[in-house]
Amino acid sequence: MVLCQGGEAAAVPAAGGKEPEVPLSREDGGGTGQPCLCSAPGMEAAGAEERRVCGCCLGLSWPRCCKAPGTKKKKAACPGLGLFYTILSAFLFSVASLFLKKIEDVHSVEVSAFRCVFQMAFVLPGLIYYKTGFLGPKGKRIFLFFRGFLGSSAMILLYYAFQVMPLADATVITFSSPVFTSLLAWIFLKEKYGIWDLLFTLFAITGVVLIARPPFLFGSNVTGIEGSYTDHLKGTIAAITSTVSAASTFVILRKVGKSVHYFLSIWYYAVIGLIGCVIALFVMNEWRLPYCGKDRVFLILIGLLGLGGQIFLTKALQIEKAGPVAIMKTMDVVFAFILQILFLNHLPTWWTVGGALCVVASSSGTAIRKWRQSLKKAKQNEI
């Protein structure tokens, strides 16, 4: 056996077949309070398969021991940090949506164009640093194009829905995206789609119907909406289309996998979105700078908050499993209801609350089911 201490190996003879006694404290003060017993390089002892290692080594042999020269001990992740990042991301996205509701003289397409400019400014240094290029692998460019087209379309339609219908209603509808992702993944990627997935999809559709409240089911006198029912219906259609488009981008990202850097994926999203927004604005003759200085400030804040929300959501997915993150994203709906009541003076109806419960239940159920499946698959791989 070898006693690794302070990065140096010292042979310790074993007498009587017993392990040598070693002190429980370290003179350098930088350890875990336990000695590091590892096999010396090139030594093959008779009982090598029964060697002991301390917790700091995580089973690694010398010189990959955490106390070997030139190695750094990995810091333990803070428990719950990923979930905190998810809540912070949900809050930033919700505040950005609130500012969008406050803008008066700017079309939703123009807001989307400003958002794309902010994303391009953020992603460009990353592309240069990681040397990913601007087009991506030849076999993946078609997928990246559709990811950018569908993702930017989802953003434009979502911003339009935020402007013409209650904030909470639009947020709840778009929150059904995981359910549609499962359905599209079953159709295009041949992923498993069981009876529970079908049940969650029906729950999500029920929630959307309760929020939209079509006249052929609820009559012509619909209360609790902003403006006319025609605008409310247009906003509902835009929100549903945005949700399906966002779900399609998730399926494309699953298809591409890790073969494309995520910065390149965001780059396509921003560039294609900006080109599409500029063309649409000139066709609709809606391109103009906001007259009010307040609207200009809101535009900048929407870009910064949207960028911050994406950063924290990405960091959350890097250090936390996707299931808990998806469940914690239900805070999007909670924040939307709170901000709508406090700053927009619009009380949600019981129909909206019922629809929100259906959609949240379906998306949370989908996330929990996928999470359990991933844990089960991980345990099978370990066996």
Confidence band of 7 (pLDDT split at 50, 70, 90): very low
What are the residues whose beta carbons fall under 8 Å from the beta carbon of 260, sequence distance 6 or more?
A: 136, 137, 140, 144
- Higher local confidence (pLDDT), 4 or 296: 296
Whole-number pLDDT of residue 60 = 46
pLDDT in tens, 307-355: 888 778 877 866 777 667 777 887 888 898 999 889 888 888 888 888 8
pLDDT in tens, 224-282: 676 677 888 888 899 999 999 988 888 887 777 767 777 888 888 889 989 988 888 88
Whole-number pLDDT of residue 51 = 45
Whole-number pLDDT of residue 223 = 66
Residue type, 335: F
> String of b and e for 91-103 (b: at least 16 CB within 10 Å)?
bbbbbbbbbbbeb
> String of b and e for 3-13 (b: at least 16 CB within 10 Å)?
bbbebebeeee
pLDDT in tens, 145-186: 988 899 889 888 988 898 888 888 888 888 888 788 888 888
pLDDT in tens, 28-69: 444 444 444 444 444 444 444 444 444 444 444 444 455 455
What are the residues whose beta carbons fall under 8 Å from the beta carbon of 367, sequence distance 6 or more?
A: 178, 322, 323, 326, 327
Whole-number pLDDT of residue 54 = 47
Give residue for tokens 């990627």. 189
Whole-number pLDDT of residue 151 = 86
Give the sign of the dihedral formed by CA 103, CA 108, CA 110, CA 115. Answer: positive
pLDDT in tens, 358-377: 888 888 888 787 777 777 77
Whole-number pLDDT of residue 224 = 63
Which residues share a beta bridge with 192? none
Cα distance between residue 290 and residue 297, in whole Å? 10
pLDDT in tens, 59-103: 444 444 554 555 555 554 576 787 888 899 889 989 998 998 888
